[in-house]
Amino acid sequence: MKKLTLVKRSIIVCCVGFITVSCSDDNDSDVLQSQQPDEQAKDVFMIVTSGDPENDLVAGVGMKVYSDILLPRYNETVYNDESALKVPDTFTQLTYNENTSTLTGYIYARGAASVENGGIGSSTAGLRSYKLTNQELSEIGEPVVVASFGNTGIFGNYSYAAQISNPFAMVVGNNNDIISSNNIAVNLPSIAINETTPTFSNIVDMGNNQVAVVVNYSDQDLAAVAFTDYSLNIDSQKFITDERIGSSVGAMRSVRYTQSAADENGNVYIFSGSSSDDSKVGAIRIKSGTKSFDTDYHFDILAQSDGYRFRKAFYISDDYFLLEFFTNKGAYGNMAESGLMAVVKMSDKSFKWVSGLPNPSVYSFSIGWGDGYDGVFYLPLAAATSMSSSSGTTALDHPTIYAIDAATGVATSLMTFEKNELLKSVNIVK
C-alpha cells in the first residue's frame, strides 16, 4: 500500500447514524495553518459526499473530488457546487473497493427519489456505483434495487448490502465497468443456536477467496463467525463461537454498524462494544492464516475506557482502530447518544481518548462515514439535523473534516465547509 508522509505528523489525525456529541472548539482558527501538501498526497484523492441539512434524505447528495488531501481548505461547498456530481437519491453509507476502483453508495428507502425526478423510485432501497477517472466521477452500470439493508461493506471484487431480518445479501461486482448484481440467500439457518437463526454483523475479507461472516443472535451474547468463500456458501462445520466477549454489532435506529475488521497483516479483530455484561466489552482475535479464535488474546476495553461502551469500530491502518463511544457511562442502547472517540492499537492493547474534537456536552452534530489511510482517520462532522439535535446543546458552526492521528490520538481540523452542507462521507481513493 502506498504511504503518505505526514508533515511533522501534526495533522495526524463515521452510517450516517446521527448522534449528539460535545466539542472542544469549532473556530476557523482550529484549522491547520502551517501544513504544506506532501508530494505523494497528490496521488491520493478524497471524495466528499454532502447533502442538504434542511432536507436530509429527500434532496439527494453532491459528490466532489479533492486532490492534495493534506492541504487545508476553508468554507468549501459540495452539495451546492455546480462542479459536484449530483445524485437524486440520498446515500446513507458509501464504500470504496480498491480491487475494482469502485465507489458504491447505499440508498436508504426514505432517501430514494421518484423515477420522475431521476431516482430509483420512492421508498425503494438500492445501490449506485461510480468510477473515478481523471479526477471526475461517473456512474457505471444501472442502479441496483434491494429489499432493504442494515449493514454494508466490501470483500474481494464486491460490495454488499445485507438485510437485517432476512438471510440475504445483495452482492454487487464491477467487471470492466459492467455492474453485476446477485441477491444471495445465505444459509444462516444452518448455524442456528437453540433454534435461533443469526443475523449479519459483517463480512470481513480475509483474502484468497476467504471471508469471515460475523453474525449475532437475539438471545445469545457471544462472538460468532462462519468462514466461507466469496460465494458466501456457509459450511456449518466451519463455524466458531467465543463467550469471552458479547455480540459483535452496533446499531442506531434501523442502521447496523460493524464492529469487526482485518488489519493489514490479515489478523481479524472482533469487537463487542454494546454488551450489557461488563466482562464482555472488549475484543478478541483470529490470527492471520487461522480459522479459530486466538485463546491467548483478549483486550479488556471497558477497563481502559473507565466504563464507557462503544457503538462503532473503524479500521484506520496498521493495527489501529477508531472506536466511537457512547457519551454516558454505562449506556449502550439503540437510541443512546454516542460521539466520544478513542484510538486503540490492537497489538499492544493501548488506548487513547481522541483530543481536539468538538466537546459532547456543548455542541450537537452528526457524524458521517469516515475513512482511514496511512495512520490517519478522516472524520466528517456537520451540524445536527432535526433527527439528531438535542436540547441544551448548540449546533456545530461549520461542517468540518477532522484528521485524527492514530499514533497520538490528536484530531486537527483539516477542511471546513459552508453551513448549508450536511457531510455524509469521506472516501479515500489511492
Between CA 3 and CA 77, with CA 408 as vertex, the angle to 5 degrees is 65
3-state secondary structure of 407: coil
Quickly count: other Cβ atoms within 10 Å of residue 321's Cβ.
26
Inform me whether the pLDDT recorded for 384 exceeds 90. Answer: no
pLDDT value of residue 200 = 94
Q: What does the pLDDT read at residue 164?
A: 87
Overall average pLDDT of the 326-339 stretch: 90
pLDDT at position 20 over 60: no
Calculate Rg over the CA atoms of the chain: 20
Residue 410 reports pLDDT greater than 60: yes
Rounded-to-integer distance, Cα 363 and Cα 346, Å: 31
pLDDT of residue 170: 97
Task: For the chain, give the percent of residues with pLDDT over 70.
Answer: 88
Q: How high is the pLDDT of residue 17?
A: 38
**Spacing of C-alpha 44 from chain mean position:** 19
| Other Cβ atoms within 10 Å of 147 Cβ, number | 13
Confidence of residue 36 (pLDDT cuts 50, 70, 90): very low
Top-confidence residue, 164 or 286: 286
pLDDT tens digits, one per residue of 108-119: 999 999 999 999
Contact 366, 424 (CB under 8 A): no
CA angle 61, 66, 71 (to 5 degrees): 130
**252: pLDDT confidence band, cut at 50, 70 and 90?**
confident
**Spatial separation of the C-alpha atoms in residues 218 and 210, rounded to whole Å:** 26
> Could you state, in order of their start, the residue ranges of all structural domains in the chain?
7-429
pLDDT of residue 360: 75
Q: Please tell me the predicted confidence (pLDDT) of residue 19.
A: 39
More confident residue, 42 or 136: 136
216-226 pLDDT, tens digit each: 999 999 999 99
Q: What is the rounded CA–CA span in Å between residue 22 and residue 338?
A: 10
First to last CA, the chain: 9
| pLDDT tens, residue by residue, 88-107 | 999 999 999 999 999 999 99
- CB contact at 8 A, 238 and 286: no
Band of residue 33 on the pLDDT scale cut at 50, 70, 90: very low
Q: Which listed CATH number (2.130.10.10, 3.20.20.70, 3.30.360.10, 3.40.50.2300) goes with 7-429?
A: 2.130.10.10
Least confident span in 73-77, 237-241, 254-258: 254-258
Please give the pLDDT value at position 390: 52
86-96 exposure pattern, b = at least 16 Cβ within 10 A, e = fewer: ebbbbbbbbbb
What one-character-per-residue DSSP string does 278-330 give?
GGG-EEEEE-TT-SS--TT--B-HHHHTTT--EEEEEEEETTEEEEEEESSTT
Q: How big is the CA angle at 278 (ends 249 and 296), to the nearest 5 degrees?
A: 80
Is the pLDDT at 314 greater than 80, yes or no?
yes
Q: List pLDDT tens digits, range 137-185.
A: 999 999 999 999 999 999 999 999 999 889 999 999 998 889 999 999 9
Query: How many Cβ atoms are within 10 Å of 231's Cβ, its own excluded?
Result: 13
DSSP string, 68-118: STTS-EEEE-STT-TTSEEESS-EEEEEEETTTTEEEEEE-GGGPPPGGGT
Per-residue pLDDT tens over the stretch 292-302 = 999 999 999 99
For residues 295 and 149, what is the distance between their CA atoms, to the nearest angstrom?
A: 33
pLDDT-derived band at 60, boundaries 50, 70, 90: very high
Average pLDDT along the chain = 89
Has residue 38 got a pLDDT over 90?
no
Listing DSSP states for 203-241 in one string gives: EEEEETTEEEEEEEETTEEEEEEEEE-TT----TTSEEE
State the cell numbers at 329.
457511562
Q: Identify the pLDDT of residue 386.
A: 53
pTM of the model: 0.90
Residues contacting 413, CB < 8 A, separation 6+: 30, 31, 32, 356, 400, 401, 402
Is the Cβ–Cβ distance between 265 and 288 less than 8 Å? yes
With a pLDDT cut of 90, the percent of the chain lying above it is 78
Is the predicted pLDDT of residue 29 greater than 80, yes or no? Answer: no
